Structure 1
Amino acid sequence: MAWEDELFAYLDDLEGQAAALYDAERAPDLLDRSRTAYQEVTLSSRLVASTDLELTLELVGVGAVTGRLTRVGDGWSLLRGPGQEWVVPHHAVAAAHGVSDRSVPEVAWPALTRLSLTAALARLADGAEPCALHLTDGRRHDGTLLRVGADFVELAAGAAARVVLVATAHLAAVQSRPGAAA
């Protein structure tokens, strides 16, 4: 073997060792960057990526709710199950099963995801659909939504249709049965 070939082989070996050392030093940095980037991923962004999937959400004060995720809004989701719909504020989600491995960054969300929880509840009030308001402490109020305030809903509850105000901060889910009689 000529001395030039030996020199080039030696230089190739050194270059390979340098690349390996660079990769070894860079790996922890890449891992740290990956962890930091993932810390920006929100529950909402994972749920947006899970639209049209069958999910189970474990809700504080309610337990497990299963249905097809049909809509995600600003801080809430809509699950449709057999004969019922669940409007779920994200603050009440303790765990989610069956979600996509992906996430969708907020800049790529459809315009409908900008709708607030109060907008979704106003739709129920406009439809005068019977519903059950499940609270994060396990209590429940059945009736018909009348109006939606800035941070509460007004419900006509029971046969006497007494008015109950419920703070949206304590809602775990609103369960409705479209087409059911009040």
Structure 2
Amino acid sequence: MSWEEQLSALFDDLEGQAEALYDAEREAEVADRSRAEYQHVTLASRLMASLGTEVGVHVVGLGALHGELHRVSAEWCLLVSSAQEWIVPLSAVAAVRDASPRSVPEVAWSPLTRLGLGSALRRLAEAGERCLVHLADGSRHEARLTRVGADFVETSGERGATMLVGFARLAAVQSRTR
């Protein structure tokens, strides 16, 4: 092998080593950036990627629910099982099983997903159907939703008894009719 070929081979080898070092450094940087960016992923964005799939949701004061995820917003989700619908505030969600490993950023969401918990509860109030209102303390009350305020829902129970339930203590609203 001539000295020119040896020099060219040496440069090729050095170039290969430099490329391998760059790749290793870049891989570590990409992994570090991925970990840093993940802090911006919300539960709602992970649930949004799970729309239309069966998930298990553990709700504070209620326990495990299973069903298909039909709607998601930044504040609540709609879980549908065979005989009932569950409106669950995300603040009452303790854990979710079988969610998509992906997420959908809020900028990609439909404007309809920006509707708050009050909007979902107003739909039930307008329908006038009887519901089970589950609270974070584990209690539940059969009632009709009558009116929805900024941060509470008014219910009418047996014999017309009125109860106000703050959104912060609401675990889920279970509609039995589908």
Q: Give TM-score, length-normalised by structure 2.
A: 0.96
Please state whether the residue corresponding to 1:178 is helix, strand or coil. coil
Aligned to 1:136: 136
RMSD: 1.1
Does 1:170 find its partner at 2:169?
yes
Residue 154 of structure 1 aligns to a residue in which SS?
A: strand
Q: What's the secondary structure of 1:19's corresponding residue?
A: helix
Q: Distance in 2 between matches of 1:121 and 1:131?
A: 11
Q: Letter of the aligned partner of 2:169 in structure 1?
A: H
Give 2:175's aligned amino acid: S
How is 1:25-174 mapped onto 2 (pairs within 5 angstroms)? 25-158=25-158, 160-174=159-173
Q: Aligned residue for 1:7? A: 7
**Secondary structure, in 3 states, of the residue corresponding to 1:175?**
strand
Letter in 2 for 1:178: T
Unaligned runs of 5+ in 1: none
Q: Distance in 2 between matches of 1:108 and 1:24?
A: 33
- 1:46-86: CA deviation from partner (whole Å, max 9, x where unpaired): 11111100111001110001111111123100011111000
Shift, 1:124, TM fit: 0.2
CA distance in 2, matches of 1:176, 1:154: 16
Could you give the per-residue CA deviations for residues 116-172 of structure 1, whole angstroms, max 9, x where no partner exists?
1000000000000111111111111111000001111100112x1200001011111
2:96 aligned partner, one-letter code:
A
CA distance in 1, matches of 2:5, 2:160: 94
Aligned length: 178
TM-score (norm 1): 0.94
Task: Report the AA paired with residue 33 of structure 2.
Answer: R
Alignment partners' CA distance in 1, 2:116 and 2:78: 12
Amino acid at match of 2:97: H
Matched AA of 2:177: P
Residue 153 of structure 1 aligns to a residue in which SS?
strand
Q: Report the residue type matching 1:168 in the other structure.
A: F
- 1:41 and 1:16 map into 2 onto residues whose CA distance is 37
Q: Matched residues in 2 for 1:146 and 1:169: separation?
A: 18
Report the 3-state secondary structure (helix = DSSP H, G, I; strand = E; otherwise coil) of the residue aligned with 2:40. coil
- Once the two structures are superposed, residues 6-65 of structure 1 have per-residue CA deviations (whole angstroms, 9 ceiling, x without a partner) of 111100110111122223333332221010111111100011111100111001110001
Task: State the secondary structure of the residue aligned to 1:137.
Answer: coil
